[in-house]
Amino acid sequence: MTEFALQAVAVLLRPEDEVAVLKQPLEEGAVIVHEGRTVKLRTAIGPGHKLALTAVKRDAPVRKYGQIIGYATEDLQPGEWVHTHNLAMAPTPSPSLPRNGGEGKEGGHAQGGVAVDYEFGTDVKPVDYYAPEQIPTFNGIKRGDRRVGTRNYVALISTVNCAATTTQLIANVFRDSLDLKTGQRTRSSALADFPNVDGVIPIVHKNGCGSAVGRADYVQLQKTLAGFANHPNVGAFLIVGLGCETNQALAMVQNTGLISVDSIGSARPELPPILTIQEAGGIRKTALQGIEETVKLLRKANAAKRTPQPISELVVGTNCGGSDGNSGITANPALGLAGDELVRYGGTWLIAETTETYGAEHLLTRRAVSREVGEKLLERIRWWEWYTSTLGAEINNNPAPGNKEGGLSTIYEKSLGAAAKGGTTPLVYVYDFAERIRHRGFCFMDTPGHDNPSVTGLVAGGCNLVVFTTGRGSCFGMKPAPSLKVATNSRMFNHMQDDMDINAGLVLEGTSLEDMGRIILDELIAVANGKMTKSEVQGVGEEEFTPWVLGPIL
């Protein structure tokens, strides 16, 4: 009979937890020794999955992170595998089963049939800011609106899907090439005269028509496209439209206040160039005209120079996708510690994915700097409950199959691990989707949990860097913001080294969370300086642009 000390093969996050998370696969019959007693595995259990350490009665809560992640659907015995077959959202909804908030707090309401109580500002702790002379620098690009870019792209913005192919034809002339055998990237010869430009990116999508002028979908699409056009990592842009679409190019410019990048801050702002396929005489003529215009924009963008900028100018958006049972143990909490440090340096750190905050929002309201900020987050949670129910869905219809295979059982468990990306500093603001980011410190943006629209919203808001954690191996990018990918376990990192930038799985092997947080922050600074991420090397980040569609297609 093989015996293991608990800490050698599993992680117990809090003393009060009924479950531990395995670091490695264990066979049926393996014995774990913990606090002078033994627990014998009743079945084989995989890494990232949960093992019951104590007996739990049916309908009783099960804790991980010291928080309730679900309720037992049958009596659980020590040594059992705890997962979707015996753990669920409250199977017997009752106000007598508070989920995570405690009793007698402010703002309680029912969520998923379980009583939830909220506190506001009770965990706000003063930030120990670094002195200005202690703030490191990176070589960034200062724009006319005083925001700082970490990259310098020319963007081709399509107003409607009908203009997407034409936009791609223009971009194809300036594309780099990738040798799949060597993994080496070759810069396009069309960019040879523009060494200060990182590339030309088409911002194309499936929308732009079939919606009503002035309604929520229309306004949100224009806001999202404008956020990419006027992004600190974009040195110049043009707009390509069909001519008869709902999302008219000139209306978008007027409604969002778009002006050419080089005239931002100028006393005489200029409109960006606009190409219209129906006016130009078709796709071929528009593409040829677009190539000429792009060369002009490249000359303008190439004038930008990198200069030393404090890392307080970094605006970092975070996301997790293809999560597993290790996400909330390794990569996400390490990322949160990196965020805490950036906030101490005066920078901006954001989490998003509202549907994957569901079940952990009470932890964020406790860190809200005001009741108003906390209530804004709860208003978004309640909106999502209404929105999903209206469409016949459930906000808790999560985790995805891959998440479950990786060890996550309920949305509460997934959300509690995902919220760790937010660190511990005060929550200073809650943004709407794609809203311009104007606050420093730790912030939240309301986005779907789906990776592509979530990060689209963050980048449209102005994030000049993205960090993406994954336990299953999501291959992600989102130009124009470089995306740093952090693996939650060594097994996946070693298997997908062409796609992963950092291995946070080392935390399971002895590296401290504090050291891993420092590794992540140092790598973010290196990427801000110009180091290419794995996704950038492979050209990932164009197809991922996904505006969030709110309503019906008419």
H/E segment holding residue 33: strand 31-34
Q: Give the tens place of pLDDT for each residue, 218-243.
A: 999 999 999 999 999 999 999 999 99
With a CB cutoff of 8 Å and minimum separation 6, the contacts of 25 are 44, 45, 46, 47
In the chain, where are the structural domains located?
Answer: 3-88, 160-304, 308-537
Q: Give the tens place of pLDDT for each residue, 164-196.
A: 999 999 999 999 999 999 999 999 999 999 999
Q: Give the tens place of pLDDT for each residue, 3-56.
A: 999 999 999 999 999 999 999 999 999 999 999 899 999 999 999 999 999 999
pLDDT at 66 exceeding the cut of 80: yes
- Indicate the average pLDDT of the chain: 93
pLDDT at 480 exceeding the cut of 60: yes
Which among 317, 347, 335 has a CA at the least distance from the CA of 137?
A: 347
Q: In whole angstroms, what is the distance from residue 484 CA to residue 379 CA?
A: 31
- Reported confidence tier of residue 262, pLDDT bands at 50, 70, 90: confident
Mean pLDDT of 512-528: 98
Q: What is the pLDDT of residue 299?
A: 98
Share of the chain above pLDDT 70, in %: 95
Measured in Å, how far apart are the chain's first and last C-alpha atoms? 65
Q: In whole angstroms, what is the distance from residue 268 CA to residue 263 CA?
A: 7
With a CB cutoff of 8 Å and minimum separation 6, the contacts of 38 are 3, 31, 32
Sheet of 307-310, strand order: 148-149, 137-142, 307-310
Q: In whole angstroms, what is the distance from residue 101 CA to residue 208 CA?
A: 42
Q: What is the pLDDT of residue 1?
A: 64
H/E segment holding residue 196: none
H/E segment holding residue 222: helix 216-229
Share of the chain above pLDDT 90, in %: 88
Structure tokens at 522: 């140092």
- Reported confidence tier of residue 2, pLDDT bands at 50, 70, 90: confident
- Residue-by-residue DSSP string for 300-313: HHHT---EEEEGGG
Q: Give the tens place of pLDDT for each residue, 291-300.
A: 999 999 999 9
With a CB cutoff of 8 Å and minimum separation 6, the contacts of 101 are 108, 115, 116, 117, 118, 119, 362
Which among 195, 124, 135, 200 has a CA at the least distance from the CA of 169?
A: 200
Q: In whole angstroms, what is the distance from residue 245 CA to residue 329 CA?
A: 48
Q: Give the tens place of pLDDT for each residue, 341-350.
A: 999 999 999 9
Q: What is the pLDDT of residue 115?
A: 52
Q: What is the pLDDT of residue 91?
A: 59
Q: In whole angstroms, what is the distance from residue 172 CA to residue 164 CA?
A: 12
With a CB cutoff of 8 Å and minimum separation 6, the contacts of 548 are 220, 224, 433, 434, 447, 448, 453, 456, 457
Structure tokens at 477: 């990018």
pLDDT at 106 exceeding the cut of 90: no
> Given phi > 0 = left and psi -120 to 50 = alpha, else beta, which region is 532?
beta
Structure tokens at 365: 């309201």
Mean pLDDT of 264-270: 86
Q: What is the pLDDT of residue 98?
A: 40
Helical axes 513-528 vs 331-344, angle rounded to 10°: 60
pLDDT at 456 exceeding the cut of 70: yes
Q: What is the pLDDT of residue 116?
A: 64
User: 203 and 544 in contact (C-beta within 8 Å)?
Assistant: no
Q: What is the pLDDT of residue 540?
A: 97
Q: What is the pLDDT of residue 92?
A: 54
- Reported confidence tier of residue 287, pLDDT bands at 50, 70, 90: very high
HSE of 242, CA atoms in CB hemisphere, 13 A: 14
Q: Give the tens place of pLDDT for each residue, 133-176.
A: 999 999 999 999 999 999 999 999 999 999 999 999 999 999 99
Under CATH, what is the fold of the domain 3-88? 2.30.130
Q: What is the pLDDT of residue 541?
A: 96
Q: In whole angstroms, what is the distance from residue 411 CA to residue 409 CA?
A: 7
Instruction: Look up the pTM and report it.
Output: 0.94
Q: Give the tens place of pLDDT for each residue, 389-441.
A: 988 887 765 678 888 999 999 999 999 999 999 999 999 999 999 999 999 99
pLDDT at 458 exceeding the cut of 60: yes
Give the CA radius of gyration of the chain: 24
Q: What is the pLDDT of residue 445?
A: 98
